[in-house]
């Protein structure tokens, strides 16, 4: 497809983030640090590697979700020259589908029903599913186990985002903050976004199912563009 | 109440639909309005639009407004049993279908304000009408159905309003319907339309128990008594709503205090808050487009209309609150802000044309200066002088003669020949209001009149429609001799065909709808072509060399890189003309070619035999030589299709779109209600309404608007090329 440089130069590769198997991943941070931006970059990386991504947005609109992709794609295009940018944009649209729910409409059975609608009619067969805005605070462990079963059965890689709160000081032994401190064992990859004093945002990889291929490298989010950068 | 008023019956002679007879009061309203405009009191003029999703009750609301402002003296329902139909739906077809197709302009008086209302159509196929109306408006009321909420058309309309920077207030209608939930709709305004929506009222009861509303500014309950809700009763807030009202008022104050330091101060000091302060803050927020006040009611049940009118006068802008710009044609289209001063040079925009039996009626809005009967004005597009004959103020399909129209007014002229979008000025200036965004038609079909009489009537009808509606085009296909009409969608064309039959008695047979394909190129190709002809008489000679390449934006560009006079100056434009002629028909499907940059960098000429025609033909030949080498492809119009309906059908709906080569962009689910957004080639959308109806037991509906042109897939392209070849052989 000619987008190999975009894949091979992606800083995410340093940690093999999202590039192995049917794992369950989690991105955690306080509000406004760039969870969605990171999820979209993980999703775009998958799309550029030829995968289909289903982006589930809870409590967001289709347009706003699409805008995230458009904006990040524009930033990528500014950094890397691509022969026919229109084709890339088109390709991304074809390998991505957005599903939005309002908070009360999202449930595991409904997600399964929707996935079946797509897969059985061969409308869109996702390899990766991104779930942004999932309410971890009011969710039982059982529900998440169910979703994990579902994604494993359908051979999907799945990524969640979760909001942590400054005032909540509960942590799991591995260092995962509430509200995910009691369920962190379900996830194969966990990334925390931590604000630094110089207003940049560090990616702290707590657990990684993929091997860390280049030791000594760190990842950051550029605070103005929210793009992942190597340092 | 009519009996106590002194009335006279008038049958106005200019009705387009003569079966409607209105009783009109000689109440002196017109004189009052004129006086106000003449007194330069533009602060008391409102030019507003009423926009919404189809069937959310625009026309019913407008009807009520006209009733309460005493412009009409009986209420007719849209699909009423009395068979009269609502006043604003002045075309027969609209009455039958219950939808409003053309925006009818009307004006009314509320308290001491003059309000011009443009009723806008709700179907996406007629968006040009909505856009044109928005261009001349200062503010708008966005109507939403309390059950259906923010539907796809509301999103389109909202986007258009944002584009034209129209401040708006929202009215959540149909609160008497089962399932009404204005709170949910307000939330949707925030989520889906990204508006800072704040409720200024609370419903007292909902669905069939809807009694009235609580005004959160005055903290009083409002009830609407009398058969037609015309007598308003103000009372204390019912006890069971007091707490909620207090809470919502706090929310309201929090939201609007951003726009007024005084209000913020008063809140911090916990002083008694003056109503005027709140009004002022809401107005400021609304005008800056940062706040959308939300009102509720049920137009059908006559509840909530009068407070909405108060809101229109209090919160929506007057002509001087809005900055409008014109382009000075004498200074290279320099942008100029219009002054709104009635004493200044005239600038007026024709935004809508209608052709009645007494000639063409042109709706115009004045932006500055004053327009008087007998004036001579100039159409800045054509440079033609026009004498203002009759000047009228429109009320749906009745009209009142007036002498002058001041700046900021919306009126109509008789017998002025122009196209919609033209600007009129006096002889001192040469300005044009910025051109309106007109999308290209995407669908066409052939119309054949059944007999000679129909032929004459059809050409009259088409002549009128094309002047009225810039998205509706017509031409004669020289190869088949057929008359082709084209527009923005199936319904768009259907309505014009119906109007031809009804209003012009032109019986026509129609062909199958054709999609407007285009061709373009994917890569650069060089050409070097010599046109030579020497058979008797004077010869022809011209050589053109250069290349064509894809143009990312725009349709066509001509670049002259000739140096040293290889082609003489006078023949350069001939080459340009030749290329343009060549672009009219591609070799793959005979569709127009777009997205081409043609560059000429060499050539030769003959002192005697070179001519304009010779170089035009050389350019055509050069293009034909280069085009096949430039990877030509076929492009097709892609429509943005949104299907809304119960969630249980989501799978089936997605399947149906997928089968039609649609790309599903996303889905939105809320409770049991789903929207599927997709992009589907127009060629696959014929007959979709039938498919959708049978798939969903008629419970889902869809809207469609043009999105972009995209390359057709190889298999489809092969089919199209084959078809075209076969057609050529037949011909």
Which residues partner with B666 through β-bridges? A98, B677
Q: Terminal CA-to-CA distance of chain B, rounded, Å?
A: 70
* Nearest Cα to Cα of residue B670 among B148, B46, B310: B148
User: How far off is chain A from B667, nearest CA to CA, in Å?
Assistant: 5
Q: Is residue B351 located within the same domain as residue B484? A: no
Degrees, nearest 5: CA angle B230-B56-B395: 55
Residue B678 lies in a domain: yes
Q: Is residue B394 located within the same domain as residue B368? A: yes
Q: Is residue B82 located within the same domain as residue B204? A: yes
- Residues of chain B contacting residue A89, judged by C-beta atoms under 8 Å apart: none
Q: Which two tokens stand for residue A222?
A: 């550029």
Note the pLDDT tens digit of each residue in B72-81. 655 555 545 5
Positive or negative, the CA dihedral B7, B11, B17, B18 is: positive
Whether B654 and A123 lie within 8 Å, measured CB to CB: yes
Degrees, nearest 5: CA angle B582-B585-B589: 145
B396: left (phi over 0), alpha (psi -120 to 50) or beta: left
Helices in B627-687 by DSSP H: which ranges? 650-659
- Those residues with Cβ within 8 angstroms of residue B152's Cβ, 6 or more apart along the chain or in another chain: B53, B124, B642, B644, B675, B703
Residue B9 lies in a domain: no
Q: C-alpha B264: how far from its chain's center?
A: 39
Report pLDDT for B98: 41
Task: Note whether B387 and B375 are within 8 A (CB).
Answer: yes
Smallest CA–CA distance from A115 into chain B, residue: B651
* Nearest Cα to Cα of residue B116 among B337, B341, B405: B405
Residue B169 lies in a domain: yes
Residue B380, domain CATH: 2.40.30.10
Q: Which of B510, B544, B559 is the last residue of a domain?
A: B510
With 0.95 as the threshold, say if the pTM is over it: no
**Is 80 exceeded by the pLDDT of residue B337?**
yes
Q: Is residue B277 located within the same domain as residue B134? A: yes
Q: Is residue B302 located within the same domain as residue B158? A: yes
**Count of domains observed in chain B:** 5
Whether A105 and B664 lie within 8 Å, measured CB to CB: no
Q: Is residue B340 located within the same domain as residue B354? A: yes
Residue B695, domain CATH: 3.30.70.240
Q: Kind and range of the H or E element at B244?
A: helix B239-257
Q: Which of B291, B320, B349 is the last residue of a domain?
A: B320
> What share of chain B has pLDDT > 70, as a percent?
84
Report pLDDT for B97: 45
The residue with greater pLDDT, A11 or B11, is A11
Report pLDDT for B444: 85
Taking only Cα atoms into account, the Rg of chain A, rounded to an integer number of angstroms, comes to 17
Mean pLDDT of the region A188-212: 80
Q: Return mean pLDDT, chain B.
A: 80
* Structural domain boundaries enclosing B675: 635-717
**Is 90 exceeded by the pLDDT of residue B225?**
no
The residue with greater pLDDT, B627 or A83, is B627
Q: Is residue B597 located within the same domain as residue B653? A: no
pLDDT class of B544 with cuts at 50, 70, 90: very high
* Structural domain boundaries enclosing A197: 4-230
Q: Does B678 touch chain A (CB under 8 A)?
A: no
Q: Which two tokens stand for residue B495?
A: 């309505």
Mean pLDDT of the region B40-68: 76
What is the helix, strand, coil percentage profile of chain B, to 5? 30, 30, 35
Q: Kind and range of the H or E element at A219?
A: strand A219-221
pLDDT class of B104 with cuts at 50, 70, 90: low
**Is 90 exceeded by the pLDDT of residue B153?**
no
Interface test with A, best of B668, B671, B709, B712 (most A CBs within 10 A): B668
Q: Which of B287, B320, B353 is the last residue of a domain?
A: B320
Q: Is residue B506 located within the same domain as residue B526? A: no
Q: Is residue B471 located within the same domain as residue B423? A: no
The residue with greater pLDDT, B667 or B128, is B667
Q: Enter the ipTM.
A: 0.86
Residue B456, domain CATH: 3.30.70.870
Whether A123 and B192 lie within 8 Å, measured CB to CB: no
Whether A100 and B651 lie within 8 Å, measured CB to CB: no
**Count of domains observed in chain A:** 1
Whether B665 and A62 lie within 8 Å, measured CB to CB: yes
Q: Does B631 touch chain A (CB under 8 A)?
A: no
* Nearest Cα to Cα of residue B443 among B151, B686, B98: B686
Residue A142, domain CATH: 3.40.50.300
Q: Is residue B261 located within the same domain as residue B372? A: no
Mean pLDDT of the region B509-532: 90
User: How far off is chain B from A214, nearest CA to CA, in Å?
Assistant: 37
Q: Is residue B253 located within the same domain as residue B139? A: yes
Smallest CA–CA distance from B522 into chain A, residue: A84
Residue B576, domain CATH: 3.30.230.10
Which of A102, A106, A124 lies nearest to residue B664, judging by beta carbons?
A124
Q: Is residue B459 located within the same domain as residue B563? A: no
């Amino acid at each position: 497809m000619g987008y190999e440089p975009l894949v091979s130069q992606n800083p995410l590769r340093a940690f093999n983030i999202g590039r192995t198997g049917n794992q369950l991943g989690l991105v955690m941070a306080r509000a406004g640090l760039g969870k969605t931006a990171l999820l979209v970059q993980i999703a775009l990386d998958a799309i550029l590697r030829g995968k289909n991504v289903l982006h589930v947005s809870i409590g967001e609109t289709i347009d706003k979700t699409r805008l995230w992709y458009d904006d990040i794609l524009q930033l990528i295009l500014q950094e890397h020259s691509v022969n026919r940018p229109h084709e890339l944009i088109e390709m991304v649209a074809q390998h991505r589908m957005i599903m939005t729910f309002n908070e009360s409409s999202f449930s595991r059975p409904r997600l399964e029903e929707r996935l079946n609608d797509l897969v059985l009619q061969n409308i869109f067969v996702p390899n990766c599913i991104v779930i942004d805005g999932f309410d971890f605070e009011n969710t039982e462990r059982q529900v998440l186990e169910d979703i994990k079963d579902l994604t494993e059965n359908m051979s999907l890689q799945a990524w969640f985002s979760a909001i942590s709160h400054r005032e909540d000081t509960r942590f799991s032994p591995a260092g995962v903050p509430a509200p995910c401190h009691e369920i962190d064992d379900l996830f194969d990859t966990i990334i925390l976004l931590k604000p630094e004093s110089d207003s940049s945002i560090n990616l702290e990889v707590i657990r990684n199912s993929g091997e860390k291929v280049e030791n000594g490298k760190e990842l950051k989010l550029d605070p103005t563009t929210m793009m992942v950068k190597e340092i | 109440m009519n009996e106590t008023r002194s009335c006279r019956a008038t049958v106005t002679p200019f009705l387009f639909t003569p079966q409607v007879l209105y009783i009109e009061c000689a109440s002196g309203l017109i004189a009052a309005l004129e006086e106000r405009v003449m007194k330069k009191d533009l602060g008391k003029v409102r030019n507003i639009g009423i926009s919404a999703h189809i069937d959310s009750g625009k026309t019913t609301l407008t009807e009520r407004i006209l009733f309460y402002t005493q412009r009409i003296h009986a209420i007719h329902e849209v699909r009423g049993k009395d068979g009269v139909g609502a006043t604003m739906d002045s075309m027969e077809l609209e009455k039958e279908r219950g939808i409003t197709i053309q925006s009818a302009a009307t004006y009314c008086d509320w308290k001491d304000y003059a309000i011009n209302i443009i009723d806008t159509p709700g179907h996406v196929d007629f968006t040009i009408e909505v856009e044109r109306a928005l261009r001349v408006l200062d503010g708008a009321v966005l109507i939403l159905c309390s059950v259906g909420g923010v539907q796809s058309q509301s999103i389109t309309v909202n986007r258009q309003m944002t584009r034209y920077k129209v401040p708006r207030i929202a009215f959540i209608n149909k609160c008497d319907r089962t399932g009404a939930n204005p709170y949910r709709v307000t939330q949707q305004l925030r989520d889906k339309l990204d508006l800072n929506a704040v409720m200024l009222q609370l419903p007292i009861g909902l669905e069939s128990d809807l009694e009235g509303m609580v005004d959160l500014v005055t903290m009083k309950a409002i009830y609407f008594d009398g058969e037609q809700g015309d007598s308003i009763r103000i009372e204390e807030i019912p006890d069971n709503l007091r707490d909620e009202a207090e809470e919502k008022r706090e929310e309201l104050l929090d939201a609007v205090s951003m726009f007024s330091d005084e209000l913020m101060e008063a809140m911090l000091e916990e002083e008694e808050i003056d109503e005027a302060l709140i009004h002022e803050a809401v107005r400021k927020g609304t005008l800056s487009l940062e706040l959308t006040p939300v009102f509720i009611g049920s137009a059908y049940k006559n509840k909530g209309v009068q407070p909405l009118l108060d809101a229109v006068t209090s919160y929506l802008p007057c002509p001087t609150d809005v900055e409008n710009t014109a382009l000075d044609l004498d200074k290279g289209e320099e942008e100029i802000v219009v002054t709104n001063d009635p004493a200044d040079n005239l600038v007026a925009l024709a935004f809508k044309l209608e052709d009645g039996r007494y000639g063409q009626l042109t709706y115009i809005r004045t932006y500055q200066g004053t327009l008087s009967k007998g004036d001579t004005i100039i159409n800045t597009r054509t440079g033609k002088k026009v004498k203002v004959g009759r000047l009228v103020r429109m009320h749906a399909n009745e009209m009142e003669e007036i002498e002058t129209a001041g700046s900021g007014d919306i009126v109509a002229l008789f017998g002025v020949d122009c196209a919609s979008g033209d600007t009129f000025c006096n002889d001192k200036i040469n300005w044009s209001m910025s051109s309106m965004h007109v999308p290209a038609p995407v669908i066409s079909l052939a119309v054949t009149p059944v007999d000679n009489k129909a032929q004459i009537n059809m050409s009259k009808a088409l002549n009128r429609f094309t002047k009225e509606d810039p998205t509706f085009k017509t031409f004669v296909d020289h190869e088949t001799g057929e008359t082709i009409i084209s527009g923005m969608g199936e319904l768009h064309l259907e309505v014009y065909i119906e109007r031809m039959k009804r209003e012009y008695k032109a019986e026509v047979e129609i062909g199958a709808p054709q999609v407007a394909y285009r061709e373009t190129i994917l890569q650069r190709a060089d050409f070097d072509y010599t046109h030579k002809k020497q058979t008797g008489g004077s010869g022809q000679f011209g050589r053109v060399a250069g290349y064509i390449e894809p143009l990312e934006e725009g349709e066509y560009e001509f670049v002259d890189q000739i140096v040293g006079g290889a082609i003489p100056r006078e023949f350069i434009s001939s080459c340009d003309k030749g290329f343009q002629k060549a672009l009219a028909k591609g070799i793959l499907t005979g569709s127009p070619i777009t997205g081409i940059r043609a560059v000429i960098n060499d050539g030769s000429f003959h002192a005697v035999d070179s001519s304009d025609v010779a170089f035009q033909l050389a350019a055509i030949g050069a293009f034909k030589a280069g085009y096949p080498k430039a990877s030509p492809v076929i492009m097709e119009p892609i429509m943005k299709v949104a299907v809304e309906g119960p969630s249980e059908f989501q799978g089936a709906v997605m399947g149906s779109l997928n089968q039609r080569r649609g790309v599903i962009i996303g889905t939105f689910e809320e409770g049991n209600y789903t929207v599927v957004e997709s992009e589907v080639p127009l060629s696959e959308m014929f007959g979709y309404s039938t498919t959708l109806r049978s798939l969903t037991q008629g419970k889902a509906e869809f809207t469609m608007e043009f999105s972009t042109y995209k390359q057709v897939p190889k298999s489809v392209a092969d089919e199209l090329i084959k078809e075209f070849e076969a057609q050529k052989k037949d011909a």
